[in-house]
Structure 1
């Protein structure tokens, strides 16, 4: 059995390169979610029996290029949602905003919509739904979700490549005998 994980194509919106307020950060997230993508070639010769994708536009576009058959869109494959730790007019560099959000999330701070435990449960429930037929499947998703999904696949006996931050539009194949 093979599972392919692919991160959506690179988003045209890009990242803000200035200091921003929490309100500007959330506006950017909305723009990023609605943005078009830069398509690239997908190098994978495997004929996937099923394809599952996040239902966000950037993942849908990637899935349509990567898969020839039916694509099943799942909200559960969306990127991990986050919320600013502070709602203020204070401007911080993007990396600091994200750092504070990740720390808050790791420590289950009430500012975050879902805890780490909830996200891992969601990933496992989604994998249970996707992997029940022992078919070769392609999963099109997002970077953060892929990093946790990789860990859960490894716990289930799959072998595959390591990645810290998955490349856009690249398939990572995991196998289980």
Structure 2
């Protein structure tokens, strides 16, 4: 069994402004989630993927459609969505959006109530995804198209289960990472 992980293609979206309030940051996250992608670095069809599973967020779904076109249906699921980001509090103070990202990821790491999901929840979700793939597609090569944050949790779970493959700190957009047991 091979599991291929691909992070969605690069998103075509620039914030209107770099400094934003908490509400503006939350709107930026929503706009980013609904933005189009630039299909560069197409991964090709090697090895042959029997199943393609993708996040149902637009950027991952579109990437999966481009990569997997004509090979069969794509299973789209919210379980492969990126780890959500929200501002950590309501504030009219303007911070650079990259600071908001760091603060929300730190809040996620410590399972702060401001975030939709904490680190423990994400780890559990990754286990459930890999369980589902192994239970249903053990004899298949499975392509998973998702997002950088959840991919990090997925590879940690794959490594725990004895899969081999290349690790990453931040996955490249559109690059294929293969894990084999």
TM bucket, shorter chain: over 0.9
Deviation sequence 1:55-97 (CA, Å, 0-9, x none) = 1111111111222212101110000112211211001112221
Other-structure match for 1:42 = 43
Deviations 1:96-155 (A, max 9, x none): 211211221111211111111111111111111112231210000001111111111100
Larger deviation, residues 49-58 vs 129-138: 129-138
The runs of 4+ residues in structure 1 deviating greater than 3 Å are 14-17
Q: TM-score, normalised by structure 2?
A: 0.92
Conserved 8 A contact 1:52-1:139: yes
1:146 is matched with which residue?
Answer: 151
Q: Which runs of 5+ in 2 are unaligned?
A: none
Structure 2 counterpart of 1:124, from 102, 121, 127? 127
TM-superposition CA deviations, 1:15-70 (whole Å, max 9, x none):
56621111111111111111111012224511111110001111111111222212
1:70 aligns with 2:64: no
- The answer to whether the 8 Å contact 1:5/1:138 transfers is yes
Q: Does 1:57 align with 2:62?
A: no
Provide the alpha-carbon RMSD of the alignment.
1.4
Partners of 1:15 and 1:126 in 2: how far apart? 32
Write the distance in 1 (CA, Å) between the matches of 2:60 and 2:105.
23
CA distance in structure 1 between the aligned counterparts of 2:172 and 2:14, rounded to whole angstroms: 15
How many residues are treated as equivalent by the alignment? 176
Q: Match of 1:131, SS?
A: helix
Q: In the aligned structure 1, how far is the partner of 2:61 from the partner of 2:111?
A: 30
Quick one: distance in 2 between partners of 1:150 and 1:15? 30
TM-score, normalisation: structure 1? 0.94
Q: Does 1:107 align with 2:90?
A: no
- Please say if residues 84 and 97 of structure 1, whose CA atoms lie closer than 8 Å, have aligned partners that are also in contact: yes
